[in-house]
Amino acid sequence: MPTIAVLGTLDTKGMEVGFLVEQIQARGCDTLVVDLGVLGPPAIVPDVTRHTVAGAAGEQIEALAQSGDRGRAVAAMTRGVERILPDFYARGRAHAVIGMGGSAGTTMATAGMRALPIGVPKVMISTIAGGDVTAFVGSKDITMIPSIVDISGLNRISRQVIVQAACAVSAMAQAEVPEASDRPLIAASMFGNTTQCVDTARKSLESFEFEVLVFHATGAGGRTMESLVAAGFFTAVLDVTTTELADELAGGVLSAGPTRLEAAARAGIPAVVAPGCLDMVNFWAPESIPEKYRDRRFYRHNPSVTLMRTTPSENRELGRQLAERLNASKGPVAVYLPLRGISVISAPGQPFEWPEADQALFRAIKEALRPGIPIFELDANINDPAFADAMAGGLLRLLGHRNSDGTG
């Protein structure tokens, strides 16, 4: 029978946590209740006391309570839960985790969840789950459930949310997941505008008994890919879609942060890289576009997403940045340039066709890339089968498969 760690501040959310515990137990799981409260007495008896959590952070709970400094208390309990949850999981005391709280409770509980491996069920009922939860989820598989109403008493809405969350985490904890393949893993980056390329390359790589994990280059996808590469999950990287660099440069909404493209370089694993979708910066609906960009070229990708074409000057800087990051590579790396467009919509005759901008990008890459990193220029669009085959073949050769096809 799986055990689910239940996290909450039992001084302010004790009754609600108690109801959550009842619902989980009614669905065939054990619980391990962890108290993250500091000030008032717990409304229910925890399995793991606040003293234990604070002690894991090197603090005394009495000192935290007497200080009257809420920020210090939250920071200490956050450090504590980050340390105890992985230990509980490693020792088999907890097989899944669920938390419930407001901003402070969400901060503490999700920090503990982020310290657990991907695949461990993680559910957070939160008053702030309806907004931007990037800081709380990070690059982990945390399911955020909006509480709808404040977590203050039980009512017809809060009961329904809590019951459904209990059902969700109980089902996750009891799910039978098929055994993982032992094939070597390759990470790949993809966007809607590079789907054909990645799908073709993926099939080629899988025919050589690799397993390809594809990440959607939406900021969160890039961050997750980078974190898993850094953690040693992957044998190689097929980085077709480096578009998140453009959002980071121009203030788009899908940036993966300033360290995109650095993990594989530091890890020294083979990588083939293309400037896929560096012709676009992502914004939401048109009204979200900053005033300074109002006279630029745009393409309405869908009702929620508007794409802005990058300029020659922006592409020069993007090319420099891409090359600079690849120059730090400790392992084998190669760059592939599609001369007939770096996305579906920058192909000849498409809305973002702008040869001068593409050439500025390509020149900057070639000028800034250090000697020893090969560059392959193909008279193809990024989504043409020939380009996909070239990238897949090039990566296979970097991995030691001399009988692979493709340019490179």
Q: What is the pLDDT of residues 259-297, one digit of tens each?
A: 999 999 999 999 999 999 999 999 999 999 999 999 999
Calpha distance 47→57 (Å, rounded): 18
pLDDT at res. 407 = 44
The domains of the chain are located at 3-174, 185-398
Rg of the chain in Å (alpha carbons): 24
- The length of the chain in residues reads 408
Token pair of 121, please? 């069920």
pTM tops 0.95: no
Spans of the chain below 70 pLDDT = 403-408
Tokens of 186: 């390759």
Instruction: Give CATH superfamily name and number for 3-174.
Output: Uncharacterised protein family UPF0261, NN domain (3.40.50.12020)
**CA pair distance 277, 191, nearest whole angstrom:** 8
Does domain 185-398 fall under CATH 3.40.50.12030? My reply is: yes
Shared fold status for 3-174 and 185-398: yes
pLDDT, tens digit, 9 for 90 and up, residues 291-314? 999 999 999 999 999 999 999 999
Q: How far apart are the first and last CA of the chain?
A: 53
Tokens of 20: 């959550």
